Amino acid sequence: MPERIESFSRAGLTFDVRDHGPLDGEPIVLLHGFPQDARSWDGVAPLLHARGYRTIAPDQRGYSPGARPRRRRDYRQSELVADTAALIDRIGRPAHVVGHDWGAVVAWATAARHPHLVRSLTAVSVPHPAAFVRALGTSLQLFRSWYMLFFQLPGLPERLFADEKTARRVLRRSGQPANAADRDAARLADRAAVRGGLNWYRALSVWSPREAVGRVPVPTLMVWSDGDFAIGRSGPAASGRWVTGPFRFETLPGVSHWIPDEAPEALAELVVEHVGGRG
């Protein structure tokens, strides 16, 4: 019988994990984005448990207190993917992988580089990295992504997000529901947690061949919402060009970027339909 996973370790770092649902259920790894943690899946996970699935949601690198290296290079995509691969190895069997926001980037790269570990991929909000880069030059995506340049500034983004009232206001203006904004703004009062999340952006190199994400051979679902302030339709709709397995693109109308918080029922239903068809 499998055992619950409360944490796992890799390269001297320890990651906290939320492992719930039937232990004998098919495992679904849930990867959060910025500036959240594994609790961002609290609305989705119980719905998956009710359908017989086990969910394993880690607080990723920079978010778990025991996994906050200070060097930017420690947040390269290759390290983030290796963390996820180590978690799936700890589970002991291939898993369905669902990622939102930055978690979607990690999910895309994990599926491309370690397809033997990934039964299916569900990317929420953020497209395949190559589709995102293409959209920067062919749509208004570059203007939507202005904040990524702001996050490169030293110190200022940390001060902004570490102020709980300011963080809550920024999150609410981006469309996040009030209860989720309260939850996430409270954890951002820890400046080390803010820095860890920002380092994902500061280590980003979309033009580096080492960081390039290849084609994805596993069944893939791309879920985007038309109220997303950060990601336009162009990249998500084009992501199928970099998927060699079955690909499906779904749009949630009237929903903001924060799909797991705002539309957990709709997202869970899409995930169950997707992974159930690949079981």
Q: Residue 170: in which H helix or E strand, if any?
A: helix 164-173
Strand pairing partners for 31?
A: 99
In angstroms, the CA 177 to CA 70 distance is 31
| Token pair 């985007």: residue | 224
| Second-level CATH architecture of 7-142+210-276 | 3-Layer(aba) Sandwich (3.40)
What is the β-pairing status of strands 247-256 and 118-124? unpaired
Task: Give the Cα separation of 210 and 129 in Å (integer).
Answer: 13
Phi and psi for 128 in degrees, rounded to 5? -55, 135
Question: What SS3 state is found at 166?
Answer: helix
DSSP annotation string for 222-248 = EEEEEE-SS--SHHHHHGGGGB-S-EE
Task: Enter the tokens of residue 174.
Answer: 């981006």
The structure tokens listed for 11 are 């390269």
Cis link prior to 94 (omega < 30° from 0)?
A: no
Residue 255: its pLDDT value, please? 98
Does 149 or 246 have the greater pLDDT score?
246
pLDDT in tens, 72-114: 999 999 999 999 999 999 999 999 999 999 999 999 999 999 9
Query: If you write DSSP's letter for every residue of 21-80 in order, what string do you get?
Result: S-TTSPEEEEE--TT--GGGGTTTHHHHHTTT-EEEEE--TTTSTT---S-GGGGSHHHH
Residue type, 96: H
Structure pTM? 0.96
- Phi, psi of 241, rounded to the nearest 5 degrees: -65, -20
**Cβ count near 14 (within 10 Å):** 13
Strand, helix or coil for residue 102: helix
pLDDT band at 116 (very low <50, low <70, confident <90, very high): very high
| Residues paired with residue 8 on neighbouring β-strands, in sequence order | 15
Angle at 96 between CA 92 and CA 100, to 5 degrees: 125
Q: What is the pLDDT of residue 219?
A: 97
Q: Taking the CA of residue 199 as centre, how many other CA atoms within 13 Å lie in the half-sphere pointing to its CB?
A: 22
Alpha carbon 261 to its chain centroid, in Å, reads 13
Find the helix packing angle between 102-113 and 129-138, rounded to 10°.
120
Res 208 pLDDT > 80: no
The pLDDT tens digits of the residues spanning 158-206 come to: 999 999 999 999 999 999 999 999 999 999 988 888 999 999 999 986 5
Task: Enumerate the domain spans of the chain.
Answer: 7-142+210-276
Over residues 9-35, the pLDDT tens digits come to 999 999 999 999 999 999 999 999 999
Q: Is 163 helix (H, G, I), strand (E, B) or coil?
A: coil
